[in-house]
Amino acid sequence: MPYCSSDSKLAGYDELEAEITDESVDGSTLNFTIHLNRPCASCGTEAAEADLELSIEIEHECEAPDPLDEANWTRDDIKWKIDVPANVKLYDTRDEALTDAEGETDLLVAVWDEDQEPEYELQDSDCDPTDDMQRIDRHGKPIKNFRYAKRLLGASVSAHVHCERCDTDFDAEGSDNMPASSFEVMSH
């Protein structure tokens, strides 16, 4: 419990506040730094703080590219194949596949190049504070006496992401927490 110098007494904490201070995209991982603030219940100034590092793996499957869309015919991240049981060959260009298919355009199938990962753009993100209790001990058994449970404070993040490869928008979510005892108490 923090000591509030403005009221000259011990004061409790007000509700946890969470703010994203840094966000980035690294391949298929969203990285966030979240500043957690436990304000003084008496005067409202920051009484305890911590920074939480959160990573969210992007789980997104691009839909198969449309082989009839002319915009896809010259893309570098699309491979082509002929839809016949005996043919498993991938072609770099549509023209190569069309030549081997003897002009049968209805046999052509477009697939994403597995060697090229899609690029993602983080459009916006939002976070909410979380407040929970540890319910399982280190041996995996339920904690029966909550006197031995840790209070866990953290944040949940909701991010709006855009896939550059398939031009799709989607949401990614994740959360993490830390023991309340790991917060740095501030003098105020």
Nearest to 156 by CA among 121, 129, 135, 185: 129
- pLDDT score, position 94: 92
Phi, psi of 51 (to 5 degrees): -110, 130
Mean pLDDT estimate for the chain: 90
Phi, psi of 99 (to 5 degrees): -65, -45
Domain boundaries, the chain: 3-61+118-185, 70-112
- With 70 as the cut, is the pLDDT of residue 188 above it? no
- With 90 as the cut, is the pLDDT of residue 13 above it? no
- Name the residue with tokens 């983080």: 122
Of all residues in the chain, the percent with pLDDT exceeding 70 is 96
CA distances from 88 to 80, 92, 116 (A): 10, 13, 19
CA distances from 35 to 17, 79, 123, 139, 155 (A): 8, 44, 20, 31, 9
- With 90 as the cut, is the pLDDT of residue 142 above it? no
* Greater model confidence, 146 or 25: 25
Indicate the length of the chain as a whole number.
188
pTM of whole model > 0.85?
Answer: no
CB 50 within 8 A of CB 36: yes
- With 90 as the cut, is the pLDDT of residue 171 above it? yes
- pLDDT score, position 185: 86
CA 174 to chain CA centroid, Å, is: 6
Residue range 67-117, pLDDT digits in tens: 999 999 999 999 999 988 877 789 999 999 989 888 888 889 999 999 999
